[in-house]
Chains A and B, each alone.
Chain A
Amino acid sequence: MKNILTVENVCKNYGNFTALNNVSISVPKGSVFGLLGPNGAGKTSLIRIINQITLPDSGTILLDGEPLKPHHVHQIGYLPEERGLYKSMKVGEQALYLAQLKGLSKTEAKKKLKYWFEKFEISDWWDKKIQELSKGMAQKVQFIVTVLHSPKLLIFDEPFTGFDPINANMIKDEILKLRDEGASIIFSTHRMESVEELCDNIALINKSNKILDGKLSDIKQEFKTNQFEVGLFSNDKDELLNQINSQYLTEKSNSAKLKDELRLIITLKNGDTSKDLIRFLNNKAQLNHFTEIIPSANDIFLKAVANNE
């Protein structure tokens, strides 16, 4: 089986409101899958269906090739966006309780908790109550509880909220480590820079419909605009600009430039290749900088949503 999770034609309605309309996604094994979309698009509805918190009106879901059944909750770890812990319960007791609800035995849970608590250097929190911890500290406990039972599939909904940059980085590394150890990860967020860093595949949901999915690199290829950023040196910059403008569509670049450098974003002509552009520029001036502009996840997100409106 190549996919850890296959969602096929899932529909979900709340009264007259359609939360999901015929949504299908496939999450390849051992990868990080970005589930993206604006607020209220239906991401959380889909995640809740995968977690069997709610049932779909129609459609099928396969986990590792098997139709989703109640016992599968033990193979899924879920860190919801709206998350928290019992405030007046002790950290250790609480972690044990949640681990046992995920099917671990008490001794097994204790052993694993010890490992993670030592790893995160929080062993002395065991007998503290959650209300005595800071938000970031509680988030660490929450993360441990999510991954403790070594699930095949991990679902993180906005995992970095509540962490300072140092701890966010640590969590990111842990997520990647879990992936390397064989877990598959669904990652839902609005923070596009973390999508770039983490995701191998993405799906974009807007207004209850999936509007885009696939490998992030393929999608970038598809969304590329044939634009290049160039840096040029010339004695007469105005003359140079006129000459380029007569042939190509250009924009000013906002990125940092050297002294007396002309920085431009040039759109390739239809049928041209980057070779043609380099040859043209080389003849006119000293070419100092040449990169293709790769659309960021953010650009793709905005563009795809705008196209869908």
Chain B
Amino acid sequence: MNKLKLIIKREFLAKVKNKSFIVMTVLSPLLMVGLMMLIIFLNEKNSEDVRTVAFVDESNLLASTFTDTETTKYIDLTALGIDEARMQTEGQYYGILYIPKSDSLVNLSKGIAFYSEDTPSLNLLGSIENKLEKKIRNLKIEQLHFDVDKIKATETTVEIATENFVGEKSSKIGSVLRMIAGGGFGYLIFMFIIIYGTSVMRSVIEEKTSRIIEVIISSVKPFQLMMGKILGNALAGVLQFIIWMISAGLLLFAITYIFGIDTAGSGTAMGQMNPEMVQQVQASSASELQLALQEIKNLPILTMFFSFIIYFIGGYLIYSSIYAAIGAAVDSETDTQQFMMPVLMPLIIAIYVGFSVIENPHGPIALAFSLFPLTSPIVMLMRIPFGVPWWQIVTSMFLLIITFIAIVWFAAKIYRVGILMYGKKPTYKELYKWLKY
């Protein structure tokens, strides 16, 4: 037991002191922060641009539609006529909107065109179309002598509140959150299994190529060495995970802080709008945020947390012991290819299945792959935010543990023989023979 501790300590320190570990751990959150900052910065830069759109309204009905906003200015060039306007203003404006003369309101919407140098932004076009539609509709209503206010009064919005039988509320935002949480956790496990499994394999190969292996196993059992290696690397992984989580928390804090300033800033801009609109905007964003927060609270966070730990440990142990056996069987990393494919296969399938599963988390495929132990750590974790019956979780964990014991047993046998074999790349047939030594 004491020796196992020594081995775990050495493996952990060897991994953590490694430059690439330090770089990965420290640099990747910084990189993420940088990237996010860049995106925010570019977004703001983009929205600061003010576009000027000229319009020629031959119908003389729609000019009042175009009021300047923060990002778009409108200039009335109706006096020039469309041909003149196009010739004169080429390159001066973002684009020219042309509304042709029309004999009736019914035909007014036809023949409206937008001329611009580049392909116009879809957002801008959409908002102009929206405005025109509204305006023309109102004009039509007036023409038919309906009371606009009365018609407005008939407009209704319906929001269906969904709730499951247990009484937990859910919503669209909720399912998106679940998808993100499930997908994120599943993907995280996938990444950690591959990164740390490979690291276990490298460490085994290093001991073989440096020829220290026989010195060590004359002091400790090969199984102890293998487990020490696996656990030491797992601890390094956990450390990296914790550092990332903490820096992610700080990142979230920093971002909300930046956004906090931002909302205050846009508040002054809102002041220029009419007070009614400000209220509307604030009300809607507040309720959405509250809903999202509510939904985050509604996630089975405790279940997710504990199942992440159990599935991570189970999945990692299974795969890293396979990786250890592969490392023991070969002499160099280039020889690992033929054994890597069968190991990566179930992991990749799990990710693919997982991402289709989060759209239909309770279908038969979802159930099957979340019980199969080689894919369950990823697929089950993706399902858990959507609520999984207890018997399924218990069954899949049971299968995971049984498989883990069996695979570690097999891997240890191959490892024990493989670490003392030099020279030639073994075939699967030879690996099978080693099991019987």
Contact = CB atoms under 8 A, between A and B. Distances in A.
Interface of A: 14-15, 48, 51-53, 70, 73, 76, 78-80, 82-89, 97-98, 100-102, 142, 145
Interface in B184-235: 206-207, 210-212, 214-222
A51 B217 CA distance: 9
5 contacts: A53-B217, A85-B210, A86-B206, A88-B14, A98-B216
Nearest to B203: A86
B420 interface: yes
A215 B81 CA distance: 121
Interface string B355-389: 00000000000000000000000000000000000
Given A97-B6, A97-B10, A86 B436 contact: no
A275 B280 CA distance: 129
A98 B215 contact: yes
Interface string B261-304: 00000000000000000000000000000000000000000000
Nearest to A81: B214
Given A73-B219, A80-B218, A83-B212, 14 more contacts: A15-B437, A51-B218, A53-B218, A76-B218, A79-B215, A80-B215, A82-B214, A84-B211, A84-B215, A85-B215, A87-B206, A97-B10, A98-B216, A142-B215
Contacts of B221: 70
Contacts of B217: 53
9 nearest A-B residue pairs (beta carbon): A84-B211, A101-B219, A80-B214, A78-B218, A84-B210, A51-B218, A82-B211, A84-B212, A102-B219
B433 interface: yes
Nearest to B220: A101
A48 B421 CA distance: 13
Interface of B: 3, 6-7, 10, 14, 206-207, 210-212, 214-222, 420, 422, 433, 436-437
Given A15-B433, A101-B216, A101-B220, A83 B6 contact: no
A76 B433 CA distance: 31
Contacts of A88: 14
Contacts of A89: 14
Contacts of B216: 98, 101
A145 B222 CA distance: 19
A97 B5 CA distance: 11
Contacts of B207: 86
A15 B210 contact: no
Nearest to A78: B218
Contacts of A83: 211-212, 214-215
A84 B211 CA distance: 5
Nearest to A15: B433
A137 to B, nearest CB: 15
Among A15, A87, A101, A142, which residue has the most Cβ atoms of chain B within 10 A?
Answer: A101
A87 B218 contact: no
Given A53-B420, A97-B10, A101-B6, A145 B436 contact: no
A145 B219 CA distance: 12
Nearest to A157: B214
Q: Name the residue among B215, B216, B221 with the largest chain A CB count within 10 angstroms.
A: B215
A86 B212 contact: yes
Contact of A53 (B6, B210, B214, B437): B214
Given A53-B217, A73-B218, A101 B212 contact: no
Contacts of A98: 215-216, 219
A48 B216 CA distance: 12
Contacts of B3: 101
A197 to B, nearest CB: 26
A82 B214 CA distance: 7
Contacts of A87: 206, 210
Contacts of A52: 218
Contact of B422 (A14, A79, A82): A82
The interface centre, meaning the residue of A83, A86, A88, A145 with most chain B CB atoms within 10 A of its CB, is A86
Nearest to B18: A88
Nearest to B221: A70
A45 B223 CA distance: 19
Nearest to B5: A100
Contacts of A76: 218
Nearest to B14: A89
